[in-house]
Amino acid sequence: MLKRLIITLMAMCFVFATIGIGFAGEDGNARKGKYTYRNVYKSCNKRGEVDSPRPPLGPDSKTQAQWKRTFDKKEFDQFKCGEEWSKLSEKDLNDIYTYLHEHAADSPSPAKCK
Amino acid sequence: MRLKSKHKRYALSCLWICLLFFTSAPSFANQEQDAPGLELARQVVKEAKNTTTADHSRFKALNQDFTSGPEITKACLSCHTEAADQLKKTLHWTWLDPNSPKDNQRGKAGYSINNFCISANAMNDHHCNECHIGWNEKGKETEIDCLKCHGQKKINWEEVFQDYKILTESKDPEENVLAKDAQAEIHEAAQSIGRPTRKNCGSCHFSGGGGDGVKHGDLDPSLINPNRKLNVHMGYDGQDFECSRCHTTVAHHVAGRIYGTPASETRHSLLEHDLEPKIMCESCHSDKPHELSSKMNDHTDKVACQACHVPVIAKVLPVQRWWDWSRAGKKKDGKPYDVNGPFGKPVYQSTKGDTKWEKNVIPNYLWFNGSIKGFTAKDMIDPSKVVKLAWPEGNRNEKNARIFPFNIHSGKQPYDTVNKTMTTPLLSGEHGYWTTFDWQDSIQRGAKYLNLPFSGKIDFVETAYVFPSTHMVAPREEALKCNQCHTRPDSRLADLAGFYMPGRDKVKLIDIAGWAIVLSSFVGIVLHALGRIFANGRKKEE
């Protein structure tokens, strides 16, 4: 009886954890993320740090796992424009992550950054 | 005395050699000046490149908020009042050959069959319509998309209009703010207007047939930013021509061949008629493009300029040479799959069958009077032979026919074994072959769109399709040399029969006669020289 209870509890934990992780990564607003991401480079370009107002990396520059690792570790140095990235809220970052993750190279709908 | 006369003869000979050398050297040095065609071509490209007199971002009509593509077109037409009427009469809009019979009209919107995606099913195969210059995939049931040819900034219009709508209608104020960013993107693209660039034209013509370099061999994305080695006219380090520099455009009618109608039947140069389109080589280079003394000028009535000046095609990117639809439809674990081969190009796709790709292709040479005979779904075929779906017309007796280089694409396609006609399968969409993998159903649907009979019985027949090789014009140092044609057994023109070509052909009698003339001339010269020497010597002694 106890064994069955433990197994049931473990299974429930596993299911909730999996669903939770899934939702945690995808609850941002991809559309907002797309324009917020582009605005980072428009501002940065105006400030003169980068030559182009277009983001250097499109969603299809990385796989979903690579985007997850990048945002989990907040490795934004590779994106340049540190000043703009540092001003983004957690919600903004999650929106950007959702956009990039949804259209990553190995996603069902990979996209370049127009 | 005898010694002295010998010295005199040597001195005279040296003088003659020097004289010959110094008189011929300047003519070699001035070869370019002597070529009237080259001078004319230089005159043609003298004018300044930038002739724009308007900044479209300052037009009121283009500064309003746009929620759809046709609204942008309306704004364009508020100034360019005649543009839509002009354009809707052109092949780029109608996709129909105006010079073909009404009951068997050629063109993608008609009954034409090609070697690639076979048929556009009278514009009902929406995948093909991506290249039509309208705002959506519904063919002519929409407004013209002026920006397909004139837009200098490419964006995903469908996506940005959808974003703008959702962001504007959202109850989240942050999203409403971002709607302005979406509209700013629309504005930026709608106001970036110019004459069609290589990129504009290339978005369809470089990638027709379902991918980069599928169709032509001399037209692919490598021409978006070519160097002069790839194309001496379009190279950024050469003349940097846009397509419209030769495809002269009047009232939106772009000069060029339209199926069976040649690009030009007159072959006039601009010296003869200054309002001629610049579509032929002769338009700018005249029919004497080489220095006046050059033997090459004697070829221009029978050999097209391209035959020597487009020696190789697919120089940077590979071109597809074979497409076998009979092999399509195989699956792995119940799913369609692709196999990539050399050049990173697919050699098998479940959706399309087998394909073969090649680079640095040597063209095939055929007689061409400027017309290409196209095949339609109504024409009867002889399945025991290769069906030539597009083949050049002309022979060596025609005044306007020249030897011309072609890329010949081959393949296999389904045909109706009872009606003896090519079939027109629907490929894209929910019921297309690419989704259902059902030939019977997709052919039935395609035939219905064209109101054609289908017996239900099919087999596959080998087909061939030509494209004239005219765009990858090499610098002159890479043009064909005489001995690449006037040779045996590897002459580039080895397959062209019916005429005698020195070097390539051998007629024993002519050869014997020729050598006899050479030999007798030589003997004559020697005898004459000896006669002069001896006679001269005797005179002196007397």
Task: Provide the angle, in degrees to the nearest 10, between the axes of the packed helices B157-169 and A30-47.
Answer: 100
**What's the mean per-residue pLDDT of chain B?**
90
Q: What residues form DSSP beta bridges with B250?
A: B253
What is the C-alpha separation between B59 and B75, in angstroms, rounded?
Answer: 9
ipTM: 0.72
Look at B163 and A35 and tell me if their CB atoms are within 8 Å.
yes
Look at A114 and B155 and tell me if their CB atoms are within 8 Å.
yes
Does the residue A91 lie in any domain?
Answer: yes
How confident is the model at residue A41, as a pLDDT?
94
Does the residue A75 lie in any domain?
Answer: yes
What is the C-alpha separation between B541 and B89, in angstroms, rounded?
Answer: 91
Scan residues 414-443 of B and list those with Cβ closer than 8 Å to A: none
The 10 Å CB-count burial string (b at 16+, else e) for A37-51 is bbbbbbbbeeeeebe
A106: Cβ contacts below 8 Å, ≥ 6 apart: A63, A64
**Residue type at A99 in one-letter notation:** Y
Look at B163 and A36 and tell me if their CB atoms are within 8 Å.
no
Q: Is B389 helix (H, G, I), strand (E, B) or coil?
A: strand
B461: Cβ contacts below 8 Å, ≥ 6 apart: B381, B383, B387, B412, B413, B415, B422
B350: Cβ contacts below 8 Å, ≥ 6 apart: B328, B329, B330, B331, B336, B337, B338, B437
Query: Any alpha helices (H) in B173-264, and if so which ranges?
Result: 173-191, 198-205
Question: Which of B178, B180, B181, B185 to mutate to test binding with chain A, by most A CBs within 10 Å of its CB?
Answer: B178
Contacts of B156 in chain A (CB under 8 A): 114
Look at A32 and B174 and tell me if their CB atoms are within 8 Å.
yes
**What would the pLDDT profile of A69-99 be if each residue is shown by its tens digit?**
999 998 888 888 999 999 999 999 999 999 9
Instruction: Give the DSSP H/E element, type plus range, for residue B305.
Output: helix B305-309
Inform me whether the C-beta atom of residue B171 falls under 8 Å from chain A C-beta atoms. no
B175, closest residue in chain A (CA to CA):
A32
Inform me whether the C-beta atom of residue A36 falls under 8 Å from chain B C-beta atoms. yes
- Can you give the residue range of the structural domain that contains A69? 28-102
Look at B163 and A114 and tell me if their CB atoms are within 8 Å.
no
In this complex, the residue of B154, B156, B181 whose CB is nearest that of residue A38 is B181
- For residue B127, give how far its alpha carbon lies from the nearest alpha carbon of chain A (Å): 18
A38, closest residue in chain B (CA to CA):
B181
Inform me whether the C-beta atom of residue B163 falls under 8 Å from chain A C-beta atoms. yes
B182, closest residue in chain A (CA to CA):
A35
Contacts of A36 in chain B (CB under 8 A): 178
How confident is the model at residue B10, as a pLDDT?
63
How confident is the model at residue A17, as a pLDDT?
45
Look at A32 and B178 and tell me if their CB atoms are within 8 Å.
yes
Inform me whether the C-beta atom of residue A94 falls under 8 Å from chain B C-beta atoms. no
Q: How many CB atoms lie within 10 A of CB B350?
A: 18
Number of domains present in the structure of chain A? 1
Backbone φ and ψ for A56, nearest 5 degrees, come out as -70, -25
**What would the pLDDT profile of B152-192 be if each residue is shown by its tens digit?**
998 999 999 999 999 999 999 989 999 999 999 999 999 99
Contacts of B175 in chain A (CB under 8 A): 29, 31-32
Question: According to the 3-state scheme, what is the secondary structure of B330-349?
Answer: CEECCEECEEECHHHCEEEE
B369: Cβ contacts below 8 Å, ≥ 6 apart: B262, B392, B393, B394, B398, B400, B401, B402
Look at B175 and A29 and tell me if their CB atoms are within 8 Å.
yes
Contacts of A35 in chain B (CB under 8 A): 163, 167, 178, 181-182
Kind of pairing between the strands at B387-392 and B372-374: antiparallel
- For residue B194, give how far its alpha carbon lies from the nearest alpha carbon of chain A (Å): 20
Check: CB of residue A60 under 8 Å from CB of residue A103.
yes
What is the C-alpha separation between A31 and B168, in angstroms, rounded?
Answer: 12
Q: Is the pLDDT of residue A113 over 80?
A: no
Inform me whether the C-beta atom of residue A32 falls under 8 Å from chain B C-beta atoms. yes
How confident is the model at residue B163, as a pLDDT?
95
Kind of pairing between the strands at B346-349 and B353-358: antiparallel
Q: Is B230 helix (H, G, I), strand (E, B) or coil?
A: coil
Contacts of B167 in chain A (CB under 8 A): 31, 35
The residue count for chain A: 114
Band of the pLDDT at B274, cuts 50, 70, 90? Answer: confident
Does the residue A7 lie in any domain?
Answer: no
B183, closest residue in chain A (CA to CA):
A35
Between B137 and B424, the more confident residue is B424
**What would the pLDDT profile of B388-422 be if each residue is shown by its tens digit?**
999 999 999 999 999 999 999 999 999 999 999 99
Contacts of A38 in chain B (CB under 8 A): 181
Helix-then-strand count for chain A, H and E: 5, 0
Torsion angle, CA of B426/B428/B430/B435, rounded to 10 degrees?
90
Band of the pLDDT at B15, cuts 50, 70, 90? Answer: low
Look at B174 and A31 and tell me if their CB atoms are within 8 Å.
no
Check: CB of residue B263 under 8 Å from CB of residue B256.
yes
Does the residue A45 lie in any domain?
Answer: yes
Contacts of A96 in chain B (CB under 8 A): none
Q: Is the pLDDT of residue B28 over 60?
A: no
Mean pLDDT of A49-60: 90
In this complex, the residue of A31, A36, A39 whose CB is nearest that of residue B163 is A31
Q: Which residue has the tokens 């080998």?
A: B462
Kind of pairing between the strands at B253-254 and B249-250: antiparallel
Q: How many CB pairs lie under 8 A apart between chains A and B?
A: 22
A32, closest residue in chain B (CA to CA):
B175
Q: Is the pLDDT of residue B210 over 80?
A: yes
Inform me whether the C-beta atom of residue A35 falls under 8 Å from chain B C-beta atoms. yes
**What would the pLDDT profile of B426-469 be if each residue is shown by its tens digit?**
999 999 999 999 999 999 999 999 999 999 999 999 999 999 99
Scan residues 37-66 of A and list those with Cβ closer than 8 Å to B: 38-39
Inform me whether the C-beta atom of residue B167 falls under 8 Å from chain A C-beta atoms. yes
Alpha-carbon separation of residue B378 from A93, B104, B113 (angstroms): 59, 7, 10
**What's the mean per-residue pLDDT of chain A?**
82
Does the residue A114 lie in any domain?
Answer: no
Does the residue A13 lie in any domain?
Answer: no
A82: Cβ contacts below 8 Å, ≥ 6 apart: A76
Q: Is the pLDDT of residue B219 over 50?
A: yes
Q: Which of B377, B405, B373, B410 is nearest to B392 (CA)?
A: B373
Q: Is B366 helix (H, G, I), strand (E, B) or coil?
A: strand
What is the C-alpha separation between B405 and B469, in angstroms, rounded?
Answer: 5
B162, closest residue in chain A (CA to CA):
A31
Look at A35 and B178 and tell me if their CB atoms are within 8 Å.
yes
In this complex, the residue of A31, A38, A114 whose CB is nearest that of residue B166 is A31
Inform me whether the C-beta atom of residue A112 falls under 8 Å from chain B C-beta atoms. no
Does the residue A18 lie in any domain?
Answer: no
Residue B480 DSSP label? P
Does the residue A107 lie in any domain?
Answer: no
**What would the pLDDT profile of B57-93 be if each residue is shown by its tens digit?**
999 999 999 999 999 999 999 999 999 999 999 999 9
What is the C-alpha separation between A98 and B439, in angstroms, rounded?
Answer: 41
What is the C-alpha separation between A33 and A39, in angstroms, rounded?
Answer: 10
**What would the pLDDT profile of B277-330 be if each residue is shown by its tens digit?**
888 999 999 888 998 889 999 999 999 999 999 999 999 999 999 999 999 999
Q: Which of B377, B363, B535, B539 is nearest to B466 (CA)?
A: B363
Contacts of B159 in chain A (CB under 8 A): 114
What is the C-alpha separation between A70 and A97, in angstroms, rounded?
Answer: 9
In this complex, the residue of B155, B156, B181 whose CB is nearest that of residue A35 is B181
Q: Is B319 helix (H, G, I), strand (E, B) or coil?
A: strand
- For residue B433, give how far its alpha carbon lies from the nearest alpha carbon of chain A (Å): 21
